[in-house]
Structure 1
Amino acid sequence: MIGEVSSVTSQVATTNSSTSKLNMDKDAFLKIFLAQLQYQDPLNPANGTEFIAELAQFGMLEQLANLADALNQLLQFEQKAQAASLIGKTVKIAGNGNSLVEGLVSAVRWSGGRVTLVVNDQEYDPAAVIEVK
């Protein structure tokens, strides 16, 4: 029975990967793991080592997800710190089209995970800064 679940899973993965990238999260992993437990043949149970390996994989998946979250938070903090370090400095910013805006960074705003610099009472993306004086 485990072979049947595995073959169905591989068929779904093959189908989904051709249309879009398969995103396997821990909930999907647990569903597959529980399906394997539920449909195994009681007269021919799966090897305990296989289940331990799958649980280890689940633990690794969860730790990777936690690491990705921590790295994302660190990146957001770094972006805020870099933007805040520009307060009081004169910057040149690539504006709309070919225009350049030059002015003093008077503030930094954070809204919904987005960081903007306030220059000449206008908000600009820090990625548009081309020169700092």
Structure 2
Amino acid sequence: MSHAHLVSNLHEGLLREVSGDHGGLGTILAHRVYRADGARGPIAFVDLVVLPPRTSIGLHRHADDEETYVILSGRGRMTLDGEEFDVREGDVIPNRAYGEHGLANDSDAELRLLVFEVGPLGDVR
């Protein structure tokens, strides 16, 4: 199955399928576009995530780091610490360390987002 049409500026071979991410529904697509392996600094990774229609990233938590979601296109429904709200293109949603969060795409169009994970700032030297 070709996914090149989903993210036109990325080679389709870069996207990987992730089934039931964090217990979610359906198969999403993800590509890690940066990782500071072994480097000291606050950025752990930046992922491009594509949620096709009727897919979701299930509720989950991350210890000792924070994530920021940037909605690039589409619409969805986010859960953050028990509160549900709509998200759409241009929204920036921060998530604190240990915060419970998840994201669903209940629409008929794909939802694209960037996820930045920021590690503990105390590790920066």
Q: Verify same fold: TM over 0.5.
A: no
Structure 1 or 2: larger strand share? 2
**TM-score between the two structures when normalised by the length of structure 1:** 0.23
**TM-score between the two structures when normalised by the length of structure 2:** 0.24
Structure 1 or 2: larger helix share? 1
Higher-RCO chain (CA-CA 8 Å, sequence separation at least 6) = 2
